[in-house]
A and B are shown apart, each in its own frame.
Chain A
């Protein structure tokens, strides 16, 4: 073995060690999620269940409230946010890209500026009052609107670079051929930007799916609560978690996001943060 092959083997070995360390760092906390749901004796440790069982899931499925939270409320909120964010951001970034709107660059940066400033708990205080005054407390709409508002600037930022990179020749050809602006958008432009729209839609959905703060502040009645809050219903009155059921519920709550990631990664390879670099 000559020096080159030796060097190559050593660097491969180092990378492997590095990967194992980093991989372990990121994987270890999640292991519990793979073992606890399937054991009726589950506790906070990671132990392979003596008897692989789906009993926890059965019990969880019988909890109408929790399942409703997951299957219905999360879907409504997630779906609502996804549709709103995707459509508004696409329209906005398309308009920004294809028109000589004065100060369009400044506009996007100001948007990002504001969304970074008015974020998190700080924003919740005035937003709560706003939703309260609109009579939208404890409604899906209130939650959807607020989450959408928070996500929009970033969504526009992501889409803008994407739309800019699509050549206009197709759209111009359609206009020359006689299509009206909206016809052209529907038939030509939209199909072209569809991959970007899908990425933004999924990103918005995942964000809304996991949201805790906004729903917890804006919702009151249990029928409207999403899974992130229903999660805590698996604690007893005394404040101790019912681990077997909690773990199964957490597992169910996580699966859709996991699947979405795998699908997106398989088809797009997680490229959407290319926009950030500029």
Chain B
């Protein structure tokens, strides 16, 4: 298994810069998720590692070797595609064994190694069938088996679970994570589903429009989002973000509607670099870090109760504050009976301030 590095890599398609000066290091045996909305460059980054795209500038290394201009065959990586790419004219056995076949491994040894891997992935009894005879989940595992048999130095996954239905997806997710733990494989995993990235990855790379927005362990990224994009992308339900102006001298915040005023003096005081006077800032607080009060409370924001959503294991409460609808998450299954007017107290240590450029003020 090998380390992968990107050194100021740029990739353009015509006038669109898909990967915009990306640098990162993926350690040996690490499971890294490339996360972001469509068009953010995550798939292009993956394909650059595979050699299916060649960088316009910058350097890519795998296991210390400069692979920037090498074709895929020379890079010794394995890839699992979203549509599984199982050849209809081959049996599952032949499909899984294909990387070995092109390397000249003889038929008997191929069959042996394929059967071993198939057994691990619990598809050993399907080897004589054709791909069309397998279910979606089985096809997915066959596709993964092919990557495993390859014994490559890194595994690349391009949204491998997107074609499965919700229930299967959760099962397959657990399975993949377990497999990766067992194999200790350097893995790069592309997804647009933040829950998937959170569950699977050792580190998440959040991307947007070709640039890296933040890299970090899932909990890090969740607890300390570096900018408003990451803050709103990670977490479901997403972080509450309130835009407005900072009236630092008065220790206040005025929301976009120009009317709602919040006392945030103690929040500004915690910042080593508070915002400029009148700077456009965004306040952020996660739904689970808000306490609801039924009477006015110091540091609490007044709001109008909108709707209560009992979710089973938890309850979501939507409250209108100024122009925005904030979400509060209560870890109780009994929905509270709340009056029309409530007061929301954000936990101080989880209150975030983001400057005009979207980045976090510490």
Contacts and interface: CB of A to CB of B under 8 A. Distances in A.
A183 B54 CA distance: 55
Contacts of B71: 4
Interface in A1-33: 2-5
Contacts of A3: 69
A3 B70 CA distance: 9
Nearest to B69: A4
Contacts of A5: 69
Interface residues of B, number: 4
Chain A interface size band reads: under 10
Among B54, B69, B71, max chain A CB count under 10 A is at: B69
A5 B54 CA distance: 10
Interface in B46-105: 54, 69-71
Contacts of B70: 4
A184 B71 CA distance: 55
A276 B54 CA distance: 36
Contacts of B54: 4
Interface in A68-104: none
Contacts of A4: 54, 69-71
Among A2, A3, A4, A5, max chain B CB count under 10 A is at: A4
Nearest to B71: A4
Contacts of A2: 69
A2 B57 CA distance: 13
A5 B69 CA distance: 8
A8 to B, nearest CB: 8
A99 B301 CA distance: 63
A141 B357 CA distance: 75
A3 B71 CA distance: 10
A2 B70 CA distance: 10
B132 to A, nearest CB: 16
Nearest to B54: A4
Contacts of B69: 2-5
A5 B68 CA distance: 11
A191 B101 CA distance: 51
A13 to B, nearest CB: 18
7 contacts: A2-B69, A3-B69, A4-B54, A4-B69, A4-B70, A4-B71, A5-B69
Interface of B: 54, 69-71
Interface of A: 2-5
